[in-house]
Structure 1
Amino acid sequence: MTKALPIMFQGTHSDAGKSVIVTAFCRIFAQDGWKTVPFKSQNMALNSYITVDGKEIGRAQGVQAEAAKTMATTDMNPILLKPNRGNQAQVVVHGKPYKNMEAGAYRQDFYQQGLQMINDALERLSEDNERIVIEGAGSPAEINLNDREMVNMRVARMANAPVVLVGDIEKGGVFASLVGTLQLLEPEDRDRVIGVVINKFRGDVKLLESGLQWFEEYTGKPVLGVVPYLQNLNIDAEDSVILDQYTSQQNHEKEIDIAVIQYPRISNFTDVDPFFVEEDCYVRFITSADQLKEPDLIILPGSKNTIDDFQFLQESGLASKIIDLHNQKNTRIFGICGGFQMLGESISDPFAIESTKALSDGLGLLPVQTTITKEKTTVQSQGQINFCDKIFKVEGYEIHMGSSMISEDGEELITTETGTDGCKNKDEDVVGTYFHGIFHNDELRETLINEVRKSKGLAPIYERVSFNQLREEAFDRLADHVRAHVNIGFIEEKMIEFQKRSVIK
């Protein structure tokens, strides 16, 4: 089928590190001069990415496109599932909402249509590129789902791609998970696996050698690499399962305490990533009122379901605690997208787009009223922000189903080419915006942190790190790391061999 040479990475389970390995190979192939693109047929994630033409795809594929030094398109992730409520998800097809579907109906009614979309996207990518790095999802050995799966081995067959199986040794049982996965595959699919990569290794690799030898003898599959755990990799995570690690791996003694509210349907939590590289910022993800304590800055991130997540704030006691901290301690609060909506006076969902509850109060900290609408806004945005006696340019992206009206006494935050965005109070200690990625703007982030420092009697710190530059350096560091520990040459030989087989057939 393909002109481009494909390679596919599948995992023994979710969070095995497939996305990171795919990102590494995207940068490796790009460094070697190949026109490269990532591909994931179907992604389930609340962390999304907006393409230049205003379409929505999985954030991992957008980041992988950046690693490949190419422009992200919806062909790289034609189907995105965004869990909504209960057993339901919003199905996003080529970057635009298709409909909300229950899991059973999706498997039954969307399957053939989805396969055709996937095949067509692969065909287009193959015609225009030289390398396709394909990512699977979950595990290819989900025997209860494999009759109608369209993200693992069926895609590998469609693309005629060799498969590398990735196992995560950090969680333990890596040999059992690799062997078990291989044994549960159909013989045809097992033959497609050219080898395995053991990921997230810590310690002395010599202690692993006897196990590696046993594995190769038992399965007949080569171990193509053991990749040591790479610390402080400034590349966006996709899955919220990593949030516990975000908090636990930091220095708790830093001067600025930032609390991020982790509601059940948190989305685009990577908006706060730039704070992790700041030398004076400690970031905590909070799920209960007793965890909140007295932070210097509270961030309300995005939400897939604003009303239901605000109900979580109320029931957990976080809502009243946040209001008290602002009123009594002048704690700074910053809301993004759904978090911005929660800062307002009311949120209505008259068409039950996100919630069965038609109307909810907000925190009442900004003079804003929000209505959840049927049309979804997805756009890359830019404008001028007026903040702390400074005016500077900011960029971001918007993903929201809803519009927010600011009362006459409210002060708008950002001036854009088409209007305005966001709101702030007169003291500028409560701020809300629809701009995801707002903290990736270095000048704004520096200004905000230094205002917090001044309020604590600390001297400001200027000339802070450029987060976007750190990201680019991280892609190269990741590529160098994987090159050093994975047999790239063998994988490329197999990519060529598989395509020769298809020509012969």
Structure 2
Amino acid sequence: MTRTLLVAGTASHVGKSTVAAGLCRHLADRGVDVVPFKGQNMSNNARVVLAAGETDADWGEIGISQYVQAQAARVTPTTDSNPVLLKPRGDGESQIVIQGEAVGHARAGEYYENHWERVRDAAEESYRRLAESHDVVVAEGAGSIAEPNLSHRDLANVETARFADADVLLVADIERGGAFASIVGTLELAPDDITDRIVGVVITKFRGDRSILDPAIEDVEERTDVPVLGVLPHDDPGLPAEDSVSLPEEGVRGGDDVPPNRTVTVGVPRLPRVSNFTDLEPLARVPGVRVTYRPLSASLADVDAVVVPGTKNTVDDLLALREAGFDEELVAFDGPVVGICGGYQMLGDRIGNAHVEGTDDRQVVDGLGRLPVETTFTTDKRVEAVTWDVSGSGSGPLAGASGDVSGYEIHVGDTHATEPVDRPVGPESAAVGDVAGTYLHGLFENRTVREAFVDAVYDSADRTRPDRRGDRENPYGAAATLVRECVDLSAIPSAGQ
């Protein structure tokens, strides 16, 4: 019989994804056939995976966290692990992706009024398929499990707990303050049948002496009769973030492991509608490389390279760059520049058939002019895993890469060159001088591309790269160790294997 554990939270961004990934790897290490699941996710960080069930498509989209958790569980990810994905587009509207396929757009009220039965049925259908072929399902909730205004249509938490007959592990973040009040309040406000399923609580992101918490833990356990099963230290294992809430207004990742005179800094514009910024995570794990997310009011004077990431709305983010004056920073920057997906489209000369928020007409919008390419938007969306040979790709900041590279495309729009260009990564890519653009998400997960880019940045900055070339430890094992050492897993029937 399949057992299911729902990792739920007292709020958003409390560490549910890390706990779920750690549990997936812990169980996989013990030979358990485990698979991740999230009934409904909201994120613009998506991955392309195999489509499950009866569908004409070979590929579909799921949220990054379920992709990561599938990797942790050592199973091939499919769209069943995240059957409903909402991708915010701005102005209160989201694209709706059901079992991997984009089916339309809706605002919150319209979504529940017009799509609720369909998405709930899809989530339960996907769960049933997973449960039929795996021994344990580690499900992840969304936000808080105790929202009285949403409990009758809370797909990721309440509905999943019910149709999966799941045990529930409650996660609370102590870093933000009020963790114990959040625990008591959540247990008070959650539906009675959900509270009855909660097997314990895990407190995350604690700094300091663990014994300091003992009086509060004893008090909460006495008040609620629910045990606190563990306290996780503030120790980020380095898993990709699910959404931009995790990005500070100007944050830096990596680069702390070598002397400052042997580091390089990669600047990333913090676009208002940034998506798939996890493309940058592999760079932040390279010794000596600092990845800094820059608000559009910032300067690029102190960075050595720029990567313009993907976006859920290329045109409006391009206009936001221009309004803030950040376009001038990008045009004037004379180091290596790489644009990925929407970032690539921005680097071109023009974008045609473009829709601008607040208008009904389609128009041509000027790009940044760093690459001689033009993009025309269409109604078709490309969702596909791809592999390309990059040997002999010519000039540009990705030159020097060789062999096959793999990743995925999620985009609308066709891009063509108006002048001769090198094709560094894929038939629609372009490179001229120190500037390159590609539609390949997961670009820097390929070691050959990552090494070529980092070498180009060090060469451009006229700095000596550290001798140590190995990337930092794979984060899945670190997440499993964190959970295994800090949580009483024996008290969780579905995880104490």
Q: How does 1:276-355 map to 2 (within 5 A)?
A: 276-325=284-333, 330-349=334-353
Match of 1:501 in 2: none
In the TM superposition, 1:177-196 aligns within 5 A as: 177-196=182-201
> Is 384-393 or 347-356 further displaced after alignment?
347-356
The reply to whether residue 18 of structure 1 matches residue 22 of structure 2 is no
Q: One-letter code of the match for 2:12?
A: S
Shift of 1:247: 2.2
1:392 aligns with 2:403: yes
Q: How far is 1:227 from its partner?
A: 1.2
Task: From the superposition, tell whether residues 193 and 463 of structure 1 become closer, same or farther in structure 2 (CA, over 3 Å).
Answer: same
**Shift >4 Å, 4+ stretches:** 248-252, 350-357, 460-463, 493-496
Q: Helix, strand or coil: the match of 1:241?
A: helix
Give the C-alpha shift of residue 246 in structure 1.
8.0
| Residues 179-188 or 131-140, more deviating | 179-188
State the alpha-carbon separation in 2 of the partners of residues 307 and 163 from structure 1. 42
- Gap regions ≥5 residues in structure 1: 497-505
1:260 corresponds to which of 254, 268, 273: 268
Match of 2:418 among 407, 410, 413: 407
Which residue of the partner structure matches residue 32 of structure 2?
34
| SS across alignment from 2:479 | helix
> Secondary structure of 1:293's partner?
coil
SS state at 1:122 partner:
helix
Question: What SS does the corresponding residue of 2:266 show, helix, strand or coil?
Answer: strand
How far off its partner does 1:74 sit?
0.8
Q: Which residue of 1 aligns with 2:53?
A: none
Look up the equivalent residue of 2:430 and give its one-letter code.
Answer: C
- Asked if structure 2 preserves the Cα contact closer than 8 Å seen for 1:40 and 1:77, the reply is yes
Residue type at the aligned position of 1:163: V
Matches within 5 A, 1:458-497: 458-461=463-466, 464-466=469-471, 470-471=473-474, 474-492=475-493
Is the Cα contact below 8 Å between 2:416 and 2:428 reproduced in 1? no
Q: Which residue of 2 aligns with 1:243?
A: 247
CA distance in 2, matches of 1:140, 1:441: 38
Q: CA deviation at 1:210?
A: 0.7
Equivalent residue letter for 1:333 = V
- The 5-angstrom pairing of residues 217-232 of structure 1 reads 217-231=222-236
Return the match for 2:115 from 104, 110, 114. 110
Q: C-alpha distance in 2, partners of 1:341/1:93? A: 27
- CA distance change for structure 1 residues 322 and 283 in 2, over 3 Å: closer, same or farther? same
- In structure 1, the partner of 2:429 is 422
Provide the residue aligned with 1:502 in structure 2.
none
Q: CA deviation at 1:105?
A: 0.7
Counterpart secondary structure, 2:247: helix
- Segments of 5+ residues of structure 2 without an aligned counterpart are 51-57
**SS of equivalent residue, structure 2 residue 303:** coil
How does the TM-score come out when normalised to structure 2? 0.92
> How far apart in 1 are the matches of 2:119 and 2:496?
26
Q: Find the aligned partners of 1:294 and 1:226 in 2 and give their Cα distance.
A: 39
Question: What residue number does 1:503 align with?
Answer: none
TM-score by length of 1: 0.90
Retained in 1: the 8 A contact 2:145–2:158?
yes
1:141 maps onto 2:146 in alignment: yes
Identity in percent: 37
Instruction: Verify the 8 A CA contact 2:354 2:365 in the aligned structure 1.
Output: no
The amino acid across from 2:13 in the alignment is D
Residues 1:151 and 1:219: Cα distance change in structure 2 (over 3 Å): same
Q: Note if contact 1:351-1:374 (Cα within 8 Å) is conserved in structure 2.
A: no
Distance 1:153 1:360, change over 3 A: same
Q: Hey, which of these two has a bigger chunk of helix by percent?
A: 1
Q: Contact between 1:47 and 1:58, CA under 8 Å: does it hold in 2?
A: yes
Q: In the alignment, is the contact (CA less than 8 A) between 1:83 and 1:90 conserved in 2?
A: yes
Match in the other structure for 1:451: 456
Equivalent runs, 1:56-75 vs 2, <5 Å:
56-75=61-80
